[in-house]
Structure 1
Amino acid sequence: MSKHDPRRAAPAAHAARRLFLRGGTGVVVGAALPAWAAPAAVPAPGDAPPVYPTRLPAAVSMDYGLSYGMISGSGRLTWQPPLAGRYQMQLVGRALGLQLIEWTSEGGVDAAGLAPWRFTEKRLGRDPQVAEFRREAGRIHYPARPERDVPLPRGTQDRLSWLVQLPAILRADPALQRPGRRIALFVSGARGDADRWEFEVRDAADGLLHVRRLPPPSAEVQGEAWLAPGEDLLPVRVRLAKDGDVLEMRRRG
C-alpha cells in the first residue's frame, strides 16, 4: 500500500471528526471563531451607535495561522467589494485536515458602510446558523431562534463584516486612528446574539494600529485586532477571548 494511500488518511480524519463531535477541544475551535451566543442586547432608543463615513478596502484574500489552546490550523479571509451593489466576504478555518468553520457575509452598501443582508455560520458537525438583516422591517431575524429577533440599528454589522467595516471607518477618518479614540458598532452573530461593541484605539506597536473592544459587564466575547496601515488597515492579527479561552489568528506571509 502506498505511503499516501487515501485509505490510511480516511480513518485518521474520521477519528479527528469524532473528537470534534463528542465535545473535545476541537468543538470549541469550531465554535470560537467566534460563535459564543449570549442573549441579544436590544439597543435603547437614542443609544444606537453613530453612523460613520467609510472608505472600503480593495478586494483581497488573506491567509492566517489559527491557534486555540493546543490546536493549530489555518484560516483564509476573502473580501470582495460590491459588484452590482453586492459585497461578499468569507472566512474558512481548517485544522487536522478538516474544515472546522465557514462563515459567509453578504450584503450591500449604504450611507453607514457595509449593510449585511445575510450572515451564515457553518461549523463541523453542526447545523448551519443564519442571521437575516431585514432592513425594510428594521429587524434582525434568526430563523433557528425567532424569539430572539431584535431591532436593526443603522450601521449594524455581523460577526464577520466588522473586520472590514472597522478598517473602513478608520480609513475614512484618520483622526479616529489616534490612541484613545473610540468607535461603536452594533454586532450580531447567527445565534440570536447581538450587542454593542465599542472599540478603543490603543498605542500602536510595530507599525500596526491596535484596536480593542472595551469590555462592558454583559460582554460575552472580548476582541482585539491589529491593523496594517500599508494594507488598507485590514487585520493582520485577531484575538478573541471568552472565560479564559483564547482564539488567535495571525497573518501568514
Structure 2
Amino acid sequence: MISKQIMRSTMTGLLALGAAAAIAAPAAPVKHAVELPPSADLAYDLNAQQKSIGLKGEALIAWRAGDGKYDVNVEAKVQLLGKLNEYRSQGGVDAYGLAPHTFTEKRYRKDATTTTFVRDEKVISFTGVKLPYVMKGGEQDRASVTWQLASVARAAGEAKFKPGSEWTFIVAGRRDAEPWTFKVVKQEKIRTGMGELDTIHVKREPRDSRGDSVEVWLAPAQEWYPVKIRFEDERDTIDQTLKSITKK
C-alpha cells in the first residue's frame, strides 16, 4: 500500500505542477497595430499620497522611439524625500507592439529590481524569483504599458478607441505577470500646464483589493501622449498632470 507520506508528497508535487501550469499559461496573445508617438520629454506636476502624507513634486518621462526600438525612462521626485521612484523600459517593436527587453525599477528605500524578457527562450525572469514566466507574445512591463496603450490608440484612432472598448495586455512587474484590462471611459477635458486639453480617459481596475488601479488620459491632438497619469493602490496614490512637452 502507498504510505500516507508518499501520498502527501505526490499531492504536493501535483499542486506544484498546477501552480507552474497556471504561471505558464497567460491569456491568448492579441496582435495590435501600433503607431508609436514621436520621441519627446514630458514634464508633469506630481501630487502624491504616501501613507496619508501629502507630497508634491515633479515627474519626468523621457520617451524615445525610432529604428524599430524604444526607450522610456520615468523619474518621480518629491520635496523633502527626493527621488520617489524610477522606472526604465528598453526594447524593440514586433507584431504585438512594444516588445520589452529589460525593465528596471527602483522605489524609495527599496533595492532595484530587474525584469528580463528572454525572447530566445520565451520566458520572463525576475530578480529573486526562481520560476520564470512563460511568454506567448505581447507581454509588457509597468513602464512600457502606458506607451503600448498610446501606440495602439494612435493606430486605432477615435473611431475604434472609443468609450466602452477594452484593451488587454499581459503586464510584468517585479515578481510576476498578469492581465491588465484598460477600459475606455469617456472623452474628457482636463486642465494642464499647457492649457485645457481634450483627452480620452482610460482606466484599469484591479482584479482584487491588493491590485493597482491605473488611469491614463491620452490627448489625440498631442500625438496621443499621456497628459495625465494616476496610480493608486490600497495605501498610496501618485497623480501626474502634464506641464510641458519637448519633442526630440
TM range (shorter): 0.7 to 0.9
Q: Counterpart of 1:91? A: 74
TM-score for the superposition, normalised by structure 2:
0.78
Report how far residue 166 of structure 1 moved.
Answer: 0.3
Residue 73 to residue 157, structure 1, CA distance change in 2 (3 Å) = same
Structure 1 portions without partners, runs of 5+: 1-38
Report how many aligned residue pairs link the two structures: 212
Which of residues 78, 83, 95 in structure 2 aligns to 1:111?
95
Q: Counterpart of 2:4? A: none
Letter in 1 for 2:40: V
Letter in 1 for 2:58: S
Query: What is the alpha-carbon distance in structure 2 between the residues aligned to residue 209 and residue 179 of structure 1?
Result: 8
1:40–1:195: 8 Å Cα contact kept in structure 2?
no
Deviations 1:97-135 (A, max 9, x none): 622222111011111111000000123333210000011
Letter in 2 for 1:65: D
Establish whether residue 209 from structure 1 lines up as the match of residue 200 from structure 2.
yes
Establish whether residue 101 from structure 1 lines up as the match of residue 92 from structure 2.
no
From the two aligned structures, give the one with the greater strand fraction. Answer: 2
1:222–1:241: 8 Å Cα contact kept in structure 2?
yes
Residue 41 to residue 214, structure 1, CA distance change in 2 (3 Å) = farther
Report how far residue 178 of structure 1 moved.
Answer: 1.2
Matched position secondary structure for 1:220: coil
Which of residues 127, 130, 136 in structure 2 aligns to 1:146?
130
Moved over 6 A (4+): none
Residue 188 to residue 125, structure 1, CA distance change in 2 (3 Å) = same
Report how far residue 247 of structure 1 moved.
Answer: 1.6
Query: What is the alpha-carbon distance in structure 2 between the residues aligned to residue 172 and residue 219 of structure 1?
Result: 33
Residue 134 to residue 154, structure 1, CA distance change in 2 (3 Å) = same
Residue 124 to residue 219, structure 1, CA distance change in 2 (3 Å) = closer
Which of residues 43, 53, 72 in structure 2 aligns to 1:63?
43
Which of residues 125, 134, 158 in structure 1 aligns to 2:118?
134
Letter in 1 for 2:121: A
Report how far residue 184 of structure 1 moved.
Answer: 0.4
Letter in 2 for 1:229: P
Establish whether residue 225 from structure 1 lines up as the match of residue 216 from structure 2.
yes
Larger radius of gyration: 2
Report how far residue 42 of structure 1 moved.
Answer: 4.8
Matched position secondary structure for 1:146: strand
Residue 51 to residue 214, structure 1, CA distance change in 2 (3 Å) = farther
Q: Counterpart of 2:11? A: none
1:223–1:239: 8 Å Cα contact kept in structure 2?
yes
Report how far residue 193 of structure 1 moved.
Answer: 2.9
Identity %: 32
Residue 125 to residue 218, structure 1, CA distance change in 2 (3 Å) = closer
1:202–1:212: 8 Å Cα contact kept in structure 2?
yes
1:142–1:192: 8 Å Cα contact kept in structure 2?
yes
Which of residues 232, 236, 245 in structure 2 aligns to 1:241?
232
RMSD of aligned residue pairs (Cα, Å): 2.3
